[in-house]
Homo-oligomer: A and B are copies of this chain.
Amino acid sequence: MLAKVNQNEEALTRLAGDIAQTDGNHSTRIPALMIFRRSSATDPMPCIYGLGLALTVQGDKRVTLGEEVYDYGPGQSLITTVDLPVVSYVTQASTAKPYLGIRLELDARTIAQSAAEMEFAAPLKVSTTRALSIVTLDEGLRDALTRLIQLLAEPQLIPFLAPLIQQEIIVRLLNGEHGPTLRHLVAVGSPSQQIAKAVAWLKQHYKENMPMDDLAATVHMSPSTFRQHFRAVAGMSPLQYLKNLRLQEARQLMLNEDMDASSAAVRVGYESASQFSREYSRLFGEPPQRDIKRMRESI
């Protein structure tokens, strides 16, 4: 048994390495599947994780959400259910043994369906859980992922088999340790789902300046309950979340569209450039101008 596990692990490493022969983010013919490779440890990189499963195959990766630190190494998987602004960095990688990671986006509809059909699932005990969790991959999941990647070698079969394997992965996730996290997300009317909707709303309308109490009302919660559950799910307060979103978007605007700081500030919903600058420094370590310059140079 142990032999087989090791074999699978090796197989996965080999497959991922074959596809990601160079450093960078490799998309595949399976749209939901990406493979990452890094030959050296990286600086902290703020980014947004959506509904999906991430797996470290080789090397080590660290993700921080608010104040919390999550480390996951080979054989461990990280699942996120709502868009979370995290800071991620590769902590362990070398040219000889580069970091290799897999990311698979999950489909909410499929999850909802599968969860609804799961027979006699135990009811969820706690009403809200963190939208992020780390679990050691079990054999079945690893095997399914391996098959998914092997499928890349037979492109003509992808449209037919990839959805099946993805569904299998979802069923396995729902039955495993990640299950409760996922089930919360699709439990109709549960606080978690309401928060997920609020988060989705924020992601869409981050420019607008809606008072958090109003947002709480639209998901039918009192302000205090809303805050409480939001924090439980997203790992930070609603306002912090919104700020993260705005600042990251502003960074993108400045980096990709050469926008100047004050325009970007206005664009993402800030009315005061000074406030923008202040909070930008707090999140990214340096004020807008300098941060962008550094980013440009580091490439």
Binding site for B on A (CB under 8 A): 108-109, 112-113, 115-117, 119-124, 183, 186-190, 193-194, 197, 218-220
**Shortest CB–CB separation between residue A299 and chain B, in angstroms?**
39
The answer on a CB contact under 8 Å between A120 and B189 is no
The answer on a CB contact under 8 Å between B197 and A189 is no
Q: A109-B113, A113-B109 are in contact. Are A220 and B188 (CB under 8 A)?
A: no
Q: List 28 A-B contacts (CB under 8 A).
A: A109-B113, A109-B116, A109-B117, A112-B112, A112-B116, A112-B188, A113-B113, A116-B186, A116-B193, A119-B197, A120-B197, A120-B218, A120-B219, A120-B220, A121-B188, A121-B189, A122-B220, A123-B189, A123-B194, A123-B220, A124-B188, A124-B189, A183-B188, A183-B189, A186-B188, A187-B187, A188-B190, A189-B190
- Among B121, B122, B124, B188, contact of A116 (Cβ-Cβ < 8 Å): B188
**Shortest CB–CB separation between residue A223 and chain B, in angstroms?**
16
Which of chain B's residues have a CB closer than 8 A to the CB of A218? 120
The distance in angstroms between the C-alpha atoms of A210 and B108, with both chains bound, is 36
- Among B109, B187, B194, B219, contact of A188 (Cβ-Cβ < 8 Å): B187
The distance in angstroms between the C-alpha atoms of A128 and B193, with both chains bound, is 19
Nearest B residue to A118 via CB reads: B188
Q: A120-B219, A219-B120, A220-B120 are in contact. Are A115 and B197 (CB under 8 A)?
A: no
